[in-house]
Amino acid sequence: MLRRWRDRAAPESVGVPVGRRRRASGLRREEVAALAGISADYLTRLEQGRATAPSAQVVEALARALRLSDTERGLLFQLAGHAAPGLDVVSSRITPSVQRLLDRLSYTPVVVYDASWMLVLANAAYDALMGATTTWEGLERNAVWRNLTGAANRVVHSASEQAEHEARLVADLRLTASRYPADRSLRRLIGELGAACPRFGALWDFEVPPAPPDATSKHKVVEHPAVGRITLDCDTLFVALDDLRIMIYTAEPGTEDADRLALAIVLGTQTLVD
């Protein structure tokens, strides 16, 4: 089924350029692997039946990369030995219509998180601005964990701003836990955060949670290693049905910040050839 869906997928529908010498009518393994954030070798083993137990996260990423319909997505989960996620668990699903919206923002830094603040998708422009996310695994993909442990981050915060941001993230995660009490993966995540981050427990016990993080447009200052500081607007859009957070970074056109952002994206996404 993976091979069939890969052969069916139109390259232009997923943003893959089609050159004159291209022979494959669908997507190459390397292209699907890159879109799903897995290795081409692992995809080969899945297609050949030599790897038979992909995680639910990998299955969701493959469904997204192959632009599967809801029925096909359910079949893919079934073939991989998983029950398709229901409404009582945190979803990392990006619908085809939302994916089309994200595709139109390919030159704008965009990152998508689920309701537990696990990274679902970061486009190439975001990685160019903030640093590569492709190697993140496990807890590294969780924004709460990364903030509480002081993981590498190009966003510049004062001590008070960082403390407020962490408190809002944890408060939002607590609200998520109240909405999905049956989600075992979410309970496991909360336990791992408590064990790994001493401050997590104290923040979790706040009686009155602060407002949700980044619920409105706000400024973000990014320290880029090649172009210096960039002040950007960060808008968070919420996908209600699937409970996703889409964070979009932009700069006022014609400003120095816009020029620096454009340069950062070019430096991070284009390969220079001698």
Residue 103 inside a domain? The answer is: yes
Q: Residue 234 in contact with residue 248, Cβ under 8 Å?
A: yes
Q: Which residues have a Cβ under 8 Å from the Cβ of 178 and sit 6 or more positions away?
A: none
Q: Are residues 199 and 133 in the same domain?
A: yes
Q: What pTM does this model have?
A: 0.79
Q: Are residues 228 and 128 in the same domain?
A: yes
Residue 274 inside a domain? The answer is: no
Residue 89 inside a domain? The answer is: no
Q: Are residues 177 and 220 in the same domain?
A: yes
Return the minimum-mean-pLDDT range out of 14-18, 86-90, 131-135, 145-149: 14-18
Q: Are residues 113 and 247 in the same domain?
A: yes
Return the minimum-mean-pLDDT range out of 13-22, 51-60, 236-245, 262-271: 13-22
User: How confident is the model over 16-20, as a mean pLDDT?
Assistant: 64
Mean pLDDT taken over the chain: 87
**Amino acid 271: pLDDT:** 57
User: How confident is the model over 62-85, as a mean pLDDT?
Assistant: 85
Question: Which neighbouring-strand residues pair with 250?
Answer: 233
- How many domains is the chain built from? 2
Q: Are residues 63 and 134 in the same domain?
A: no
Residue 139 inside a domain? The answer is: yes
Domain boundaries, position 123: 96-269
Q: Are residues 260 and 185 in the same domain?
A: yes
**Amino acid 134: pLDDT:** 84
Residue 245 inside a domain? The answer is: yes
User: How confident is the model over 75-86, as a mean pLDDT?
Assistant: 82
- Digit-coded pLDDT (tens) for 254-267: 999 999 999 999 99
**Amino acid 270: pLDDT:** 79
Taking CB atoms within 8 Å and a gap of at least 24, the contacts of 136-143 are 139/189, 139/192, 139/193, 139/196, 142/116, 142/117, 142/118, 142/189, 142/193, 143/113, 143/117, 143/118, 143/119, 143/169
Place of tokens 């292209």: 31
Place of tokens 């979803």: 91
Structure tokens at 172: 């939002």
Residue 86 inside a domain? The answer is: no
**Amino acid 216: pLDDT:** 46
Q: Are residues 50 and 116 in the same domain?
A: no
Q: Residue 122 in contact with residue 115, Cβ under 8 Å?
A: no
Q: Are residues 122 and 253 in the same domain?
A: yes
- Digit-coded pLDDT (tens) for 120-156: 999 999 999 999 998 888 899 999 999 999 888 999 9
Q: Are residues 128 and 227 in the same domain?
A: yes
Q: Are residues 108 and 64 in the same domain?
A: no
Residue 85 inside a domain? The answer is: no
* Residue 208 pLDDT > 70: no
**Amino acid 273: pLDDT:** 42
